[in-house]
Amino acid sequence: MEFKDYYQVLGVAKTATAEEIKKAYRKLARKFHPDISKEPDAAQRMQEINEAKAVLSDPEKRLAYDQLAQQYRSGQDFQPPPDWDAGFEFSGRGFEEADLGEFSDFFANLFGQGGRAGQGGRGYRMRGEDRHAKINIDLVDAFQGATREIVLHVPEVDSQGRVVSREHTLSVRIPKGVKEGQHIRLAGQGSPGLGGGPVGDLYLEIHFRPDSQYRVEGRDVYQRVPVTPWEAALGASIETPTPSGPVKLKVPGGSQTGRRLRLKGRGIPGSEPGDLYVELEVVLPPADTDRARELYATMADELAFNPRQGRGG
């Protein structure tokens, strides 16, 4: 385990005031907020920032940390000395396991429930916290259902009474009909309860991997299908892949790019299944041979067609 320099994480001096710490935290929280940040490691940075703020904005924890930090440099191998926090009383809100799941082993070791911070947790029965995780699936999984393995970091109290993080792999059934942003609740897969209290739940938030072929709105799926000019102009019966398998599609004559055809009930399945909207995209064949150029020239001669007619200017 590496020693973490929380002052470095927030970019503040060791002498920073509470107000300076708050300011630095807000500035970084704005930059790395996972909902808006474009930084690839935003979630990881946000975790470090939250952790640093949790320690440095609490006078008691900061004092204990400062004393410990005198002997360590950032990144140095670190094991908390026994009774490192002797003489300190951490009051106020204790850090519960759900928080610890989002914090590093370093933090969990120092301020977890196995440490003195958890004093408030003793002696009564409490339900475990609910936990949250995100999971990415392909759109086709929502049509067929799937099984996905997820790895969770579960904080546990070891035989020495310290909190350690344990990896827990879970195989989860993704039910058919799941939508973007929807949650699956796994009862009893959250944090363990205290004093024999019941285990919390785990919520999995579902996201679809971006797919250049499809766009999803609720249960409706939008798909662009390329067609030839003659299929669009004359009408045709074409076969196209869809998330639920290939379908035969009747393209009405006189279609243009952007024409939308609805395939009722072919969206994401459910008690009220969504629809699949096929958006036609007319693609021109390249004029890359003499014969092709000749055909285009014939059309130019014989079809009185000016798409800009009536636009003025």
Partner 1 sequence: MAQQHIVSGELVDEVTLTLEDLARACSVDTDWVIERIESGLLADGSPYVASWRFTSHDLTRARRMCQLERDFEAAPELAALAADLIEENQRLRERLRAAGLVDDPAPPER
Which residues contact partner 1 (rule: CB under 8 A)?
A: 25-26, 29-30, 33-40, 42-43, 50, 96, 98, 127, 129-130, 132, 134, 136, 147, 149, 169-173, 175, 177-179, 181-187, 189, 200-205, 207, 210, 212, 215, 222, 271
CB of 122 to partner 1, least distance (A): 20
192 close to 128: Cβ distance less than 8 angstroms: yes
Contact in structure between 202 and 131 (CB atoms under 8 Å): yes
- The angle at the Cα of 84, spanning 43 to 114, to the nearest 5 degrees, equals 60
Q: Find the shortest distance in angstroms from Cβ 229 to partner 1.
A: 21
Q: Which is nearer to partner 1, 14 or 30 (CB)?
A: 30
- Integer Cα distance of 112 and 100 in angstroms: 7
Quote the least distance from Cβ 79 to partner 1, whole Å. 30
Cβ proximity to partner 1, 99 vs 105, nearer residue: 99
Q: How far is the CB of 236 from partner 1 (least distance, A)?
A: 25
Task: Tell whether the torsion through CA atoms of 44, 142, 150 and 148 is positive or negative.
Answer: negative
- Residue number, 3 or 203, with CB nearest to partner 1: 203
Query: Which tokens hold the place of 79?
Result: 């094991």
In the complex, what is the shortest distance from the CB of residue 113 to partner 1, in angstroms, rounded to a whole number? 15
Which regions of the chain does DSSP assign to beta strands (E)?
Answer: 131-137, 146-157, 163-174, 183-186, 202-208, 214-217, 220-227, 236-240, 247-251, 260-263, 276-282
Q: Closer CB to partner 1, residue 182 or residue 228?
A: 182
Q: Which is nearer to partner 1, 245 or 258 (CB)?
A: 258
Contact predicate 297/204, CB 8 Å? no
CA atoms of 246 and 242, how far apart (whole Å)? 5
Calculate helix-pair angle for 42-56, 59-69, nearest 10 degrees: 100
Q: Which is nearest to 61 in space by CA: 10, 27, 29, 95?
A: 95
Instruction: Tell me the closest approach of the beta carbon of residue 84 to partner 1, in angstroms.
Output: 28
Q: Which is nearer to partner 1, 78 or 101 (CB)?
A: 101
Min CB(170)–partner 1 separation in Å: 6
Least distance (Å) between residue 20 CB and partner 1: 15
Q: Rounded to whole angstroms, how far apart are CA atoms 55 and 65?
A: 8
Angle between helices 42-56 and 18-32 (to 10 degrees): 170
Give 183 or 250: the residue with its C-beta nearer to partner 1: 183
CA triple 79-191-174, angle to 5 deg:
120
Q: Which is nearer to partner 1, 1 or 126 (CB)?
A: 126
